[in-house]
Amino acid sequence: MDIKEDVQIPSRIDLALKVNGTLYEISVPPTTRLVYLLRDELKLTGTKISCEIGRCGACAVQMNNQLVNSCLIMAYQSNHASIITIEGIAGDDLHPIQQAFLEEGGFQCGYCTPGMIMATKALLESNTAPTEEQIQEALSGNLCRCTGYGGIIRSVQRAIKDSDQKNSARSEVLMIHEVQQLSREEFLLQVGWVFEHSPWVAEKAWESRPFLSKEDLFQKMVKVVENAEVTDQLKLLRAHPDLGTRLKISEVSQKEQASVGLDKLSPNEFREFAFLNEKYVEKFGFPFIMAVKGQNKDSILAAMKERIHSSNDEERMNALNEVYKIAGFRLNDTFQ
Ligand code: FES
Ligand code: FES
């Protein structure tokens, strides 16, 4: 048999993917890359293309919550995926990161800006309080030929500051029936921080409205995490601050840790926590997580020493259960 007859390469392949929440069923040549599918087929030209070899970040989008360079993704790899592009991040108003870039002069020609903004969005979803070094590292895959990066870093810091201010404007206590009246943006503001300051959990749970009670809201958010890919669960766990260390952490986490004295460790205790945390991250890839309410320094240390012997899967489950407990406490404090 003629080999040419044997190997049939289809001239087009059928794909179904969600882009910015809309389902597209589309047929493209098998060699199409995601960036061209977005730009040429779907006319979403906000995603830019420059180097085409993964070096400049101009084409950055989120695929299943992960930041990717769409010039390196074949279109077929996006089959059944959920993609967010720069066009999908704003609501009625600009996204806060877009607003911050605008106000802080984070661009000149603007060609790199969609990629910068998508990279910033991905960073702030996994770390709400990055240091300047962490910002630089997160944006190191995004090249800008115009601005010299000062304005870009300032814009990211402005977005963080604005979101901190917004969070402190959050209602202290909300009646659960009031949740039904909230717009999506308001809901994310009120609830987006509850699961490790990772708003994607609330974003997904929003699709399961109405929430009949506080418990119903909690269970729907837990379901989102339980049904998430392991990579997303790990991302959630990595967003948790180290217990007892002095890294910059959110105000809520500071209060929670201070309530059991973790903000006043002696130098020896601090070293012990730091050492165990380091071992934890080395072994599991995420920090030790424990709902500290009702605990004390000794019980937390004892649990750290015991759980470090868990298997990776066991510890992921342990850590997720603690995240659920923390979120439950936070929801209880937020809603009546
Ligand atoms: S165009 Fe994709 S990384 Fe440069
Ligand atoms: S603003 Fe021109 S490339 Fe960045």
50 lines ligand 1 (CB under 6 A): yes
Worst-scoring range by mean pLDDT, 2-11, 182-191, 198-207, 220-229?
2-11
Burial of 230 (0-12, 13-18, 19+ CB in 10 A): exposed
For all residues of the chain together, what is the average pLDDT? 86
Percent composition of the chain: helix, strand, coil (DSSP 3-state, to 5): 50, 10, 40
CATH superfamily of this structure's domain 96-168 = [2Fe-2S]-binding domain (1.10.150.120)
Kindly give the residue spans of alpha helices, DSSP state H, lying in 192-311: 200-205, 214-227, 230-238, 251-258, 267-284, 297-307
Per residue in 265-315, pLDDT (tens digit) is 666 777 777 788 888 888 999 888 988 888 888 888 899 999 999 999 999
Highest mean pLDDT among 41-55, 140-154, 229-243, 318-332: 41-55
User: Are 244 and 233 spatial neighbours (Cβ–Cβ below 8 Å)?
Assistant: no
Cα-to-centroid distance, 35 and ligand 2 (Å): 19
For ligand 2, mutation pick of 55, 101, 108 (most atoms within 8 Å of CB): 108
Mutate to test the pocket of ligand 2, among 112, 117, 149 (most ligand atoms within 8 A of CB): 112
Question: What is the phi/psi pair of residue 206, to 5°?
Answer: -55, -30
Domain boundaries, the chain: 3-88, 96-168, 176-334
Is 147 a pocket residue for ligand 2 (Cβ < 6 Å)? yes
Q: What's the confidence (pLDDT) of residue 117?
A: 97
* Letter string b/e over residues 273-300, b meaning 16 or more CB atoms within 10 A of that residue's CB: bbebbeebeeebebbbbbbbeebebeeb
**For position 245, what pLDDT does the model report?**
47
Q: What is the tens place of the pLDDT at every residue in 167-189?
A: 665 555 567 677 777 888 888 88
> pLDDT confidence of 209, banded at 50, 70, 90?
confident
How far the first Cα of the chain sits from its last, in Å, is 74
Atom of ligand 2 nearest to the CA of 116: 4
- CB of 149 within 6 A of ligand 2: the answer is no
pLDDT given at position 129: 85
Measured distance CA(217)–CA(236) in Å, rounded:
18
Higher pLDDT, 187 or 158: 158
| Chain segment 98-130, per-residue pLDDT in tens | 999 999 999 999 999 999 999 999 999 888 889
Instruction: Determine how β-strand 82-84 pairs with β-strand 60-63.
Output: antiparallel
Q: Is 54 in the pocket of ligand 1 (CB under 6 A)?
A: yes
Q: Which of 6-15, 33-42, 50-59 has the lowest mean pLDDT?
A: 6-15
Domains 3-88 and 96-168 share a fold: no
Give the ligand with the smallest distance to the CA of 155: 2
In this prediction, residue 259 has a pLDDT band, given cuts at 50, 70 and 90, of low
Residue 232 has pLDDT above 80, yes or no: yes
Q: Measure Cα distances from 259 to 104, 180, 191, 255, 273 in Å.
A: 37, 32, 22, 6, 17
Is the CB of residue 34 below 6 angstroms from any atom belonging to ligand 1? Answer: no
Answer whether 49 contacts ligand 1 (Cβ < 6 A): yes
Distance 164 CA to ligand 2 centre (A): 27
CA distances for 43 relative to 47, 57, 85, 182, 271, angstroms: 10, 19, 12, 32, 54
| CB contact at 8 A, 245 and 273 | yes
**From the CB of 260, is ligand 1 less than 6 Å away?**
no
Topology of domain 176-334 in CATH is: UraD-like (1.10.3330)
Atom of ligand 2 nearest to the CA of 146: 2
Q: Are 269 and 306 in contact (CB under 8 A)?
A: no
Share of the chain above pLDDT 70, in %: 86
The answer to whether the bond into 241 is cis (omega within 30° of 0) is no
Superfamily of domain 3-88: Beta-grasp domain (3.10.20.30)
CB count within 10 Å of CB 89 equals 19
Q: Atom 3 in ligand 1: which residue has the minimum CA distance? A: 54
Q: Is 57 touching ligand 1 by the criterion CB < 6 Å?
A: yes
- Cβ of 73 less than 6 Å from ligand 1: no
What's the pLDDT score for residue 247? 40
Query: Is residue 336 over pLDDT 70?
Result: no
pLDDT tens across 59-92, in order? 999 998 789 999 999 999 999 888 999 999 887 6
- Our measurement of the distance from residue 235's CA atom to the centroid of its chain's CA atoms, rounded to an integer in Å, reads 7
For the chain, the maximum distance between any two Cα atoms, rounded to a whole number of angstroms, is 78
Residues 6 or more apart in contact with residue 285 via CB below 8 angstroms: 234, 238
Q: Running DSSP on this structure, what letter comes out for residue 76? A: G
Mean pLDDT of 198-215: 88
Question: Is residue 101 within 6 Å of ligand 2 at its C-beta?
Answer: no
Q: What is the pLDDT of residue 72?
A: 97
